[in-house]
Structure 1
């Protein structure tokens, strides 16, 4: 049981565990983003260069189907490297991404906050909500809310952990775990109701000042809605050691 199974070089068949909340035939962008990270890791890897920024632009909802992920080096260098990726299905491009790798070097780290709270115990309230029972991606993660809740409007702090592999037969990395979870900020900190509005993101930007570690990722997320059909979600990202970066999403907001 996995989110994807490999069908060829750069080709993957999506399972029901990638399904998003808006359309049963479309994927959540979390798994798609993690799959991009998975393919980028195999593109011109070089020891000492780590992915530090990933920008994902969503052209249309990604279908629950076979995907092709094409990657290339956009700019190579000794200290920085820029990669690009494209996700298509049936000959149509659905997602385009740009990633920056930055060389590792010893620097004096700035003191940063630890996680807002330890990973709390599981809650039946979370498992029985729309996250735990409503769609494939929601059921594929273990959700642990610190503040807010799956049915509460407003900011939220929540830990998340994938409970299955990203790609069948292949080990998932901490960075892929983070990428799969980071696109959930608008879903856990929604500012308008799921039953009354659509608030889908058209992009995702992940910026990291250090590499993640472990299975669990925490996000402290807030969503604001403007007066003209747009919104913005800002999430601070943590692992169990402490803060490691941010994720932002630009939202398309409309009545159902």
Structure 2
């Protein structure tokens, strides 16, 4: 099982596992965000051998995309010996769907000063399984396992993992695999019933101060709706060792 099948060096076909959640005939954008992280890392490793770490991933979601073929392209916007800014674009039928910009940074030992004020969440084994398909349709939501604690309306802590490969036959990093889960945050701590209020996100930005590892990705998520049709989903991201960064998503809030 995989979210994408490789058709060529920069071309992929989405499978049924990417469908939903607002429309099951369209791709849930989460796997595509992971795919762009993967092509950024693949391009990096083809150009250089020092493994610069991905410290920020910032995605602009330009439209919806049907389940089918997508193409990718990568451009180095700011080359550098220790820091690079790279842009990757997901294209369907000659139309840009997502643009991702990533800051790649050289790592060095700083364990002597490493610390964070971000609060850990309960481990996956300490939370109850939760079935997200009770709220959301689609193949993508059906492909993930969730352990969750609701902390009130628009607030929850949870862990997510999947046994579906990002790209069939490709070796994929933990970072790219986790990036394919980042976008699930907007549906795991709902503030309003999605059958009454639509609240898709138009972007996602993740900042990472640690390289993620393991199979579970943890979130501590809060959702806010303003009075002007704009909302915000924010999360502290975790692997099983503790907090690793943050993510945020701007929402367009549309009551039916």
TM-score, scaled relative to structure 2: 0.92
Contact 2:127 2:149 survives alignment (8 Å): no
Question: Could you say if the C-alpha distance between residues 242 and 162 of structure 1 is closer, same or farther in structure 2, counting changes exceeding 3 Å?
Answer: same
Unaligned runs of 5+ in 1: none
- Asked whether 1:80 is paired with 2:115, we answer no
Contact 1:82 1:99 survives alignment (8 Å): yes
Question: Structure 2 residue aligned with 1:110, among 105, 108, 115?
Answer: 115
Superposed counterparts of 1:232-243, under 5 Å: 232-243=232-243
Unaligned runs of 5+ in 2: none
Deviation for aligned residue 1:65: 1.2
Please report the RMSD computed on the Cα atoms of aligned residues, expressed in angstroms: 1.8
Residue 55 (structure 1) aligns with: 58
Question: Structure 2 residue aligned with 1:139, among 134, 138, 142?
Answer: 142
- Asked whether 1:9 is paired with 2:32, we answer no
Question: Could you say if the C-alpha distance between residues 243 and 24 of structure 1 is closer, same or farther in structure 2, counting changes exceeding 3 Å?
Answer: same
1:182-216 CA deviation, whole Å, 9 max, x = no partner?
A: 11111111211111011000000010001000010
Q: Which 10-residue stretch deviates more, 162-171 or 229-238?
A: 162-171
Query: SS of the residue aligned with 1:35?
Result: helix
Deviation for aligned residue 1:176: 1.6
Question: Could you say if the C-alpha distance between residues 42 and 171 of structure 1 is closer, same or farther in structure 2, counting changes exceeding 3 Å?
Answer: closer
* Distance in 1 of aligned mates of 2:109 and 2:129: 44
Deviation for aligned residue 1:111: 4.1
* Distance in 2 of aligned mates of 1:64 and 1:128: 19
* Distance in 2 of aligned mates of 1:125 and 1:82: 38
- Asked whether 1:94 is paired with 2:93, we answer no
Deviation for aligned residue 1:154: 2.0
Deviation for aligned residue 1:145: 0.6
* Distance in 2 of aligned mates of 1:89 and 1:144: 34
* Distance in 2 of aligned mates of 1:127 and 1:22: 14
* Distance in 2 of aligned mates of 1:128 and 1:64: 19
Q: Which 10-residue stretch deviates more, 175-184 or 193-202?
A: 175-184
